[in-house]
Structure 1
Amino acid sequence: MPLSFLSADRTFEAASESALPYDDRERWRRPYRPGPWRVGVAALVLLLAAFVLFAAVLIALTDSVSAAVTVLVLALLVVAAALRLLRMGVWVSSRGLRHVGLLMTRTAPWAGVLSVRTVQQPVRWLGLPRTVQGQALTIVRRDRPTGDTPPLLTTHTLDFLGRPAAFDRAADTVEAWAAEYGRG
């Protein structure tokens, strides 16, 4: 069973004349692959979930069923968090731009986007409070012209840490989607 949220379409990496090499532009898609750090962290979280599931089975065999159900629910929450971690990122379609976070998803229709551009600025390292100098893909929206929105992508996230070429390709692709559909 293919897991479409794990990787971008292979056509993105193929050389083509079009900046938007997708046939079905109505479908939400991530224009880049999740980075090795994101996949590694999700794998560790799923490993933790396996141990918690094993603990639920042991508790069910030796102790009360209610305690086992509680641990099982905890394991299912850990699995859901790992899947959401894999889904995080920027998604685009002809309808707009979607920024998926761990707990919240923000969608901006292309008509509400003034510009999408790459800027050099201090960015958060792996989402932690520490900032380092890096690049960020920012969005300026019509309803928030002051630009107080958080960056869409940065060079120091789980997807692009140590992969500046991958960040450049992803930023260029999102900017191309914005140039194509942001005219409206």
Structure 2
Amino acid sequence: MPLPFLTADGAFDAQDDDAPLDHDDRDRWRRPYRPGPWRVAGSALLLLLSAFMLLATMIIAFTGAWAGAAVCLVAALGVIGTALRILMAGVWVSRTGLRRVGLLRTRSIAWSEVGEVRTVQQPVRWLGLPRTVQGQALTAAGRDGAELPVLLTDHNADFLSRAEAFDRAVDMVAAWADEHRAVPV
């Protein structure tokens, strides 16, 4: 079964550096980088936990305790939804704008509202935890000068210990921004 939210649509497999944005459908939201091993491992562990929860649901249902089976099923479905949401988290781009998908909310910004996209050195959260370390962050500034939330960091679940992947992702998001900010949608 293909999982389109796990692929980078071959963005880094292309050998031609002159055309980094060769895609068939630019209106579709796409992540310009592959999810990192920490994000995939966390989701895999949650899916493993949900498998055990579904097995427990089946055992509880066979005993005839339907209310307990229903509660266990709802909890397992919640864990599965959380695992999928963790996999989908990150920055997505399309012709219409920039989208930052988080665990609990999604924020979309039209390219016409984005003034500039830049990399800055600042304290960043390590794997999304409260602990901060010095690192790089990809930020976007609005046309009116308003600072938008941090898009990517080199210490998040996608780029921890993968500096080259962070640089490629920053370049891809910047290329999308440069191409689509000047073009009216």
Q: What band does the TM-score fall into relative to the shorter chain?
A: over 0.9
Which 4+ runs in 1 deviate beyond 2 A? none
Contact preservation (8 Å) 2:39, 2:87 = yes
1:153 is matched with 152
Q: CA RMSD in A?
A: 1.2
SS of residue in 1 equivalent to 2:5 = coil
TM-score w.r.t. the length of structure 2 is 0.94
Determine if the alignment matches structure 1 residue 57 to structure 2 residue 58. yes
The one-letter code matched in structure 2 to 1:125 is W
Contact preservation (8 Å) 1:119, 1:138 = yes
Contact preservation (8 Å) 2:11, 2:32 = no
Identity percentage over the alignment? 60
Unmatched 5+ residue regions in structure 2? none
Superposition pairs of residues 84-95 of structure 1, within 5 angstroms: 84-95=85-96
Offset at residue 63 of structure 1 (A): 4.4
| Matched residues, number | 182
Superposition pairs of residues 87-106 of structure 1, within 5 angstroms: 87-106=88-107
Unmatched 5+ residue regions in structure 1? none
CA separation of 1:11/1:146 partners in 2, compared to 1, >3 Å: closer, same or farther? closer
The one-letter code matched in structure 2 to 1:123 is V
TM-score w.r.t. the length of structure 1 is 0.95
2:110 and 2:11 map into 1 onto residues whose CA distance is 24
1:5 is matched with 5
Superposition pairs of residues 1-184 of structure 1, within 5 angstroms: 1-16=1-16, 17-142=18-143, 145-147=145-147, 149-183=148-182, 184=184
Offset at residue 47 of structure 1 (A): 0.4
Contact preservation (8 Å) 2:50, 2:77 = yes
Contact preservation (8 Å) 2:21, 2:176 = yes
Q: Deviations over 1:1-56 (max 9, x none)?
A: 21111111124332221131212111110000000111011000000001111111
